[in-house]
Structure 1
């Protein structure tokens, strides 16, 4: 079945899906394969659950006209997404980066939604499957698409750009993330810049943070840039007023008070303001969108639990984002400070040195009582009596049961696999 024929079937459906546990009625089911499963085996279950058609790539499963046989389901999903995106012919904004992608995407969506009908990546469904599904959620009512792109190996951002055909793009930052796959910070820069490569090759517009030397360097020989930052030479000029406990800034003569903490979130907000400015969103609407945005999903949330106040930033972590969180915590003028840090994953051969670098910083800076959780942190050399190591979460749990925490100001930060939000249950 060719892509034109498949597209006609897709137009009969409400949406596309890949999970039989989340089937929408009259959807188009793609029977993807994984290391430990064959989606073709679940095609009949998808139909029983309400799917209208199933895309399969093994002939023995295509038993009637509801089964659409193709050579490769994953490639077909990606090709259909591109075909659909091109048919819609709407502006698509792509963003990637080492840190802050999802928060930035949510902020951009909040700002643009003040004027346009938008369709944006849900959560962080930002990989080779999530990006096509995001594109296929767009329809004739969509005026602007916002696509988050994630990667942990070279060539992945290039693939996602080739699927999404973005008209605009930005990179939040270059940091020490997924070093196991990228090899080094130089590898990170090269891989993330695959988005720049696509945009430049196709003469598309790039949003550039003038205060990030790496972004400026990577785009210095390209003309179609929209600059933002703290300099008067930028297209959108901003001014930091305060970052503690929440980011407050000045834009277009107006003060914007966000519900996000930390200098690192100033850059995320700045991107959204710049994009809003480019797309002619009224300044007061930009202000309202930023001020109304509330962080969720353990991303820079400030929570209250009993007598304790918590900065919950445990959605994910890498050396760059962890150091930024610690620097921000250091600047907070609060008593009773306490830190919980969980292992950082996907660092490969640099894991030992990067975890030790965090410990060295903690020993050189008085930030309160520190709890380090996980096998990597447990291997570090600690000399300061204010720093405790716990190889497992269970060991930490036992300690907190014996030494209850109250009247404290906490920072909780760790990789997703550490699930440090569980600490909230112990407070």
Structure 2
């Protein structure tokens, strides 16, 4: 994270580090991720020891140009031009540096914590207060032990108000964040069940969160949130709001809904005040009331606040990756633009390997707190560092400072209209395009023009949830165990390169696909990870070799066929030997191993990269004895092959549920399949350890009132005996919503309520009963999400989640979100 601060010598003193000799350097950038290197000449890399040990990536960071490091131990080779600050705890050193920096600024800081709504409240307070303050805030949900110090480092002399959120997952974490943020105003949002698993009770979680307010002069909260535990708060000025307690500073006396909005009346200082909030859902209303209370507590006049609240804009929490026209990928972040979120979005753009060209469409950056000359120098430097090849800048300031930019193919426009008019001439082809604009520029028009039009039914894929699930399983692995991610069958319906790019960026060790053409598509999309092909077709071996894919070999016929495609002069080609230990699907049985060993010895053109097998019932306790027998047979097979070959190979037998239930059998690698997508029969859904990845949604195309006894759909199968209202929705069996869901078996969610199917499922649509639901044409209808899960749908029709996911048609538009 970029700032502009201290010499390496001063930092050494601040964090109490030992030091190797090196040149005195001015440090203005803090780095914690080897994949995200910026300003390397003036950067300081912290080798954090988390899910992955940052020390293992020191050589990569050095190769990227960084010469200053904070480490717990020195690398084996110490470059003469590098400086290493040696500390006992790298994270503590990062936090100590942030505390030192924070203490040099006396600006007021709003510190926000709670279980839900922290980011929304932070962003809405920014919208409400940015007219009066130069606000620095942590972007999106960077509220962790690492994220908070990185963004406190951003505080500069031009900032007049800070707004930071703090999230914790266990005890003692808030005590480390409080001196970094050092808020003068504390805000407590809704207290829910998020992260309950890290605490022995809800009371303990609340006590830990309230440590953020230890030195606040003002604390704002809903009276009911503390439930009589105000003694946990410091002796500061407490400003409360409530719908129940008349003694609250802001007592909500009346609430009613208008068209897309909520009206509120409240007693405040013995007078009636009112406001209108442009939302109707309860979470948004509660978050808006919290913001209302904060501004009142800060001394704003009620009438002034009432003028601002109706203009609260939705908070775009995530980037959207969509299919674009002319074989482009479009990353839509068209509602906000600031320096920090630009860097995050550019990092996501650099992950996209499926196209040769990376393009940025950017608006003027408003309210950065920096002089425009400095701001756009920094933006131009960022574009150079990220390797942007095409650039469209929109706005008066970008146009005025275009001399700073040196992108190979660049254009500047004074207005969005000018760019829109020029889109046909720009001829976007085979590019990854990031659209990043302040809301006032209305870049959604550009997004609509570039995104491929598709079927209205949408499968939303949360890439952050995939990363979370990947890291959950990684956390269960013993040191040194590799991870192979299964991306066969269109990544279980979730996408091809979109998911593979994330896995490659997150440093998965291997990918696995079912067929050669799937592997070829990944190579064409820029995926360079090793890829195992589970069911290689001999007719496509030439493509397999050309794309350096690695075949599973499960029979003598296949092995001999593959050997015939190899040249004796080439380097030994990696193959993966499948052993059948009880599945009886594919693989060499134990009695064939002697012959297999002999054949492999005779043909050095191949090298056994791995030996593996597949568990029959890793998730079923009733079959545990058979699972143990499979382990024994597999161990026997590996020992025989090892003794014959005389060189080591990777051994792997565990699938998703095996990772969860059989840690003693992790061996050299595990294969993560459907668990990556949030489904594991061995992990209780209530544990919160896995996050659902996908949401399948559609919309209501028409509403009809049905008389008693009238029938609905093909073969007159549907009937509402008492009459009622049906909604026709845009999903059918051609989209993957199977006919077995018809006639009340399946249920959709409409405005949070369950709507059963009526009649047979048609090819492109189906009907649902909405007699009991307040609904309009165009409203969303959810097939599955975190409330009604894929597992729930599978249970409705007596199948497994795999079938639900992989049946989703390719005509259903995929949209990928990244926060």
TM range (shorter): 0.5 to 0.7
User: CA–CA distance in 2 between the matches of 1:100 and 1:94?
Assistant: 13
Per the alignment, residue 395 of structure 1 pairs with: 804
For the pair 1:284 / 2:295, whether they are aligned, the reply is: no
User: CA–CA distance in 2 between the matches of 1:389 and 1:316?
Assistant: 30
For the pair 1:205 / 2:222, whether they are aligned, the reply is: no
Per the alignment, residue 285 of structure 2 pairs with: 266
User: CA–CA distance in 2 between the matches of 1:158 and 1:63?
Assistant: 37
More deviation in 365-374 or 171-180? Answer: 365-374
Deviations 1:276-322 (A, max 9, x none): 233345653674366142221369xxx99989699x997999xxxxx
For the pair 1:38 / 2:53, whether they are aligned, the reply is: yes
User: CA–CA distance in 2 between the matches of 1:372 and 1:85?
Assistant: 45
Given candidates 216, 241, 265, the residue that maps to 1:228 is: 241
Per the alignment, residue 192 of structure 1 pairs with: 206
Per the alignment, residue 225 of structure 2 pairs with: 214
The answer as to whether partners of 1:153 and 1:182 remain within 8 angstroms in 2 is: yes
User: CA–CA distance in 2 between the matches of 1:153 and 1:173?
Assistant: 18
More deviation in 277-286 or 89-98? Answer: 277-286
Matched residue SS, 1:256: strand
Per the alignment, residue 150 of structure 1 pairs with: 167
The answer as to whether partners of 1:112 and 1:281 remain within 8 angstroms in 2 is: no
1:121 to 1:313, Cα distance in 2 relative to 1, 3 A: farther
User: CA–CA distance in 1 between the matches of 2:461 and 2:281?
Assistant: 11
The answer as to whether partners of 1:15 and 1:27 remain within 8 angstroms in 2 is: yes
Given candidates 11, 29, 36, the residue that maps to 1:15 is: 29
User: CA–CA distance in 2 between the matches of 1:195 and 1:234?
Assistant: 22
The answer as to whether partners of 2:102 and 2:153 remain within 8 angstroms in 1 is: yes
User: CA–CA distance in 2 between the matches of 1:422 and 1:376?
Assistant: 20
1:111 to 1:232, Cα distance in 2 relative to 1, 3 A: farther
Matched residue SS, 1:127: coil
TM-score by length of 1: 0.66
Aligned residues: 365
For the pair 1:256 / 2:665, whether they are aligned, the reply is: no
Gaps of 5+ in 2: 1-8, 16-22, 267-271, 320-443, 466-676, 689-745, 758-781
Deviation at 1:58, TM superposition (A): 2.4
User: CA–CA distance in 2 between the matches of 1:196 and 1:268?
Assistant: 18
Deviation at 1:130, TM superposition (A): 0.7
User: CA–CA distance in 1 between the matches of 2:24 and 2:206?
Assistant: 32
The answer as to whether partners of 2:186 and 2:219 remain within 8 angstroms in 1 is: yes
User: CA–CA distance in 1 between the matches of 2:289 and 2:808?
Assistant: 41
The answer as to whether partners of 1:352 and 1:376 remain within 8 angstroms in 2 is: no
Deviation at 1:77, TM superposition (A): 0.2
Per the alignment, residue 57 of structure 1 pairs with: 72
For the pair 1:29 / 2:44, whether they are aligned, the reply is: yes
Deviation at 1:204, TM superposition (A): 3.9
The answer as to whether partners of 2:257 and 2:280 remain within 8 angstroms in 1 is: no
Given candidates 291, 313, 320, the residue that maps to 1:293 is: 313
Given candidates 219, 241, 255, the residue that maps to 2:256 is: 241
1:332-411 to structure 2, matched below 5 A, reads: 351=686, 366-367=754-755, 371-372=783-784, 377=789, 391-392=800-801, 395-396=804-805, 398=807
More deviation in 369-378 or 16-25? Answer: 369-378
Matched residue SS, 2:163: strand
Per the alignment, residue 183 of structure 2 pairs with: 166
User: CA–CA distance in 2 between the matches of 1:244 and 1:315?
Assistant: 34
Per the alignment, residue 97 of structure 1 pairs with: 114
Deviation at 1:175, TM superposition (A): 1.3
Deviation at 1:84, TM superposition (A): 1.0
The answer as to whether partners of 1:120 and 1:146 remain within 8 angstroms in 2 is: yes
The answer as to whether partners of 1:111 and 1:286 remain within 8 angstroms in 2 is: no
Bigger radius of gyration: 2
Deviation at 1:246, TM superposition (A): 4.4
The answer as to whether partners of 2:255 and 2:263 remain within 8 angstroms in 1 is: yes
1:246 to 1:194, Cα distance in 2 relative to 1, 3 A: same
Deviations 1:335-360 (A, max 9, x none): xxxxxxx9799xx867289xxxxx99
Give the helix-richer structure, 1 or 2.
1
The CA RMSD over aligned residues, in Å, is: 4.8
The answer as to whether partners of 1:31 and 1:42 remain within 8 angstroms in 2 is: no
User: CA–CA distance in 2 between the matches of 1:80 and 1:118?
Assistant: 22
Deviation at 1:145, TM superposition (A): 1.8
The answer as to whether partners of 1:343 and 1:375 remain within 8 angstroms in 2 is: no
Give the strand-richer structure, 1 or 2.
2
Deviations 1:162-209 (A, max 9, x none): 4433222222122122333335xxx23422332324524x46432111
1:297 to 1:69, Cα distance in 2 relative to 1, 3 A: same
Deviation at 1:396, TM superposition (A): 4.1
For the pair 1:69 / 2:85, whether they are aligned, the reply is: yes
User: CA–CA distance in 2 between the matches of 1:240 and 1:62?
Assistant: 66
For the pair 1:130 / 2:138, whether they are aligned, the reply is: no
The answer as to whether partners of 2:276 and 2:309 remain within 8 angstroms in 1 is: no
1:281 to 1:11, Cα distance in 2 relative to 1, 3 A: farther
Matched residue SS, 1:207: strand
For the pair 1:81 / 2:98, whether they are aligned, the reply is: yes
Per the alignment, residue 767 of structure 2 pairs with: none
1:344 to 1:287, Cα distance in 2 relative to 1, 3 A: farther
More deviation in 368-377 or 159-168? Answer: 368-377
The answer as to whether partners of 1:161 and 1:195 remain within 8 angstroms in 2 is: no
User: CA–CA distance in 2 between the matches of 1:374 and 1:277?
Assistant: 36
Matched residue SS, 2:241: strand
User: CA–CA distance in 1 between the matches of 2:110 and 2:275?
Assistant: 27
User: CA–CA distance in 2 between the matches of 1:5 and 1:44?
Assistant: 25
Per the alignment, residue 326 of structure 1 pairs with: none
User: CA–CA distance in 1 between the matches of 2:49 and 2:38?
Assistant: 22
Given candidates 1, 5, 9, the residue that maps to 2:13 is: 5
Deviation at 1:249, TM superposition (A): 4.1
